[in-house]
Amino acid sequence: MTSEVTPPERFRSREQQAAVGLLRTADAVRRHFTQVIEAHGITLQQYNVLRILRGAGPEGLPTLTVGERMIEQTPGVTRLVDRLEKKNLVERVPCPRDRRRVYCQITPEGLALLTELDEPIDRADEQAVSALRSTDLDSLIEMLDRVRAAHSQA
């Protein structure tokens, strides 16, 4: 009985190999976190909104600012906030000085959910990069920062 050996992937360049590797790794890490978060009844993007609003403090943030701070830029921030509002995890509050402006604030229920998720997310963070040594993490963080910075200038 012969075993089939899968031929190595062919790439046009090392740059393509690196870009494809980065995308595949991002997808694997995203799926890893999705498993943890969706077990609590929210999506990864909804979690990101809640995390941003917790960090904003009691005053909250305008919807557009929430969108700018998200890990994955999405045009559907309003829909994300709508869904979180239906779950009573977020509320919208009109600005007292400018009625056209509306602030999104995390509710006590949203804070409780994030508190419940803190430990599982901490474990998921550690597991996501557990194959790397401390010095590898430092290098990875620095390299990813450089790649993002190059794309933000483009």
β pairing state of 61-62 and 102-106 = antiparallel
In this structure, of 19-23, 43-47, 148-152, the range with the lowest mean pLDDT score is 148-152
In this model, does residue 138 exceed pLDDT 80?
yes
Q: How confident is the model at residue 152 (pLDDT cuts 50, 70, 90)?
A: confident
Q: Which residues of 36-71 are buried (b: 16+ CB within 10 A; e: fewer)?
A: bbeeeebebbbbbbbbbbeebeeebbebeebbebee
In this predicted model, what pLDDT tens digit does every residue of 71-124 receive, in sequence order?
988 888 999 999 999 999 999 998 888 878 889 999 999 999 999 999 999 999
In this prediction the pTM is 0.86
| CATH code that applies to domain 41-133 | 1.10.10.10
d(CA 143, CA 141): 6
Q: Where are the domains of the chain?
A: 41-133
Q: Which residues contact 124 (CB under 8 A, 6 or more apart)?
A: 32, 33, 36
Kindly report, residue by residue over 5-39, the tens digit of the pLDDT: 555 678 999 999 999 999 999 999 999 999 999 99
Reported as a pLDDT band with limits 50, 70 and 90, residue 49 is very high
